Amino acid sequence: MEKRNIRVVIADDHVLFRNGLRNLLAQVKNVELVGEAVNGQELVKRAVELLPDVILTDIAMPVMDGVAATKEILRRKTGCRIIILSAHGKEEPILKTLEAGALGYLLKSADCTEISDAINAVFLHKPYFCREITEKLTEIVSKNYQLPPQVDASFTDREKEIMRLICRECTSKEIAFTLSLSKRTVEGHRTRIMDKIGAKSIAGIITYALEKGIYKRQIVQFETTKPAKEIKKDDAPAKDQ
C-alpha cells in the first residue's frame, strides 16, 4: 500500500517568502501543500479547518506571531506538528519556541533538503533543529540556562530510560522494541512524564532531560533524522514489564 503524502500548511506575512517556500515544497516528493496563512490568527484557523500533518510558520507575523499561534494550535489538540521558521538563531525565540511546544526550528536560509528532512522528522514526532540552532542549544545548556517551567519531578527508572531514548530521537515503536514493551505502554509512560513536568510536547521532555542531567552530552543528535535503531516490520515487542 502506497504511503500518503505529508499534508503541510505554511504561514508567513511576506508574499515573496511564501512563494519561495511553495516552490521548494513542490520539489519534495512526499509533501502536499494544502494551505497558506499570512498571520498567526489565520494559521490557527487553517490548522483547525485543514488538520495538516505539519505546519511551517514564520516566528514574526502580525496579529498573532508564530509562537502564540503554536500554543493555540496545540491547545486545540489538532495533532499538527509545528516547525518554526526564523531569519536568525537568537536565544530568546529558540527558548520560546521550545516552551510553546514546536518540534522544529529552521532558519529561513534552509535549502530544500533540510526542509524535507525537517518535515519528515517532525511528522514522525521527532524534534528537528538545524545545525546552527543545535549549536545554540548546546551553548544554552552549557550555560545552565533555566528554561521554564522548572519542575522538580521524581521519575521511575523506566521513565528515565524512556526519556533518554526520546532524547536520542527514538519513536514510540523503537522505544517499545528496545525495552521490550508495547507501543501503548511507551505512550502511557510518555504522557505521564509530560504531565509530571508540565511539558506540551516531546521537545519539552528533551529540554527538561538536558536541563536536569537525565540525558547528557548527546544534544548534537538533534540534527540527525536517522532512527537510533532500525526496526524490521516482522519484529514484535515482547510482553510488558
- Residue 139: per-residue pLDDT: 66
Classified by CATH at the fold level, domain 6-142 comes out as: Rossmann fold (3.40.50)
| Domains in the chain: boundaries | 6-142, 157-223
Residue range 76-86, pLDDT digits in tens? 888 899 999 98
Asked if the model's pLDDT at residue 101 lies above 70, the reply is: yes
pLDDT at site 232 = 45
Q: Residue 216 in contact with residue 222, Cβ under 8 Å? A: no
Contact 95, 145 (CB under 8 A): yes
185 pLDDT higher than 50: yes
Indicate the DSSP class of residue 58: E
What amino acid occupies position 222?
A: F
Q: What are 143-182's pLDDT values in tens digits? A: 554 444 444 578 999 999 999 888 887 888 889 999 999 9
Average pLDDT over residues 45-54: 95
Q: Tens digit of pLDDT for each residue in 113-133?
A: 999 999 999 998 888 888 777
Phi, psi angle pair for 6, to nearest 5° = -85, 120
Residue 219 has what pLDDT? Answer: 39
Architecture of domain 157-223: Orthogonal Bundle (1.10)
**DSSP states of 86-112:** ES---HHHHHHHHHHT-SEEEETT--H
Please state which of the ranges 8-17, 26-35, 40-49, 84-93 shows the lowest mean pLDDT. 84-93
Q: C-alpha 5: how far from its chain's center?
A: 19
Cβ neighbors of 117 (< 8 A, separation 6 or more) are 128, 225
pLDDT interval class at 47 (50, 70, 90): very high
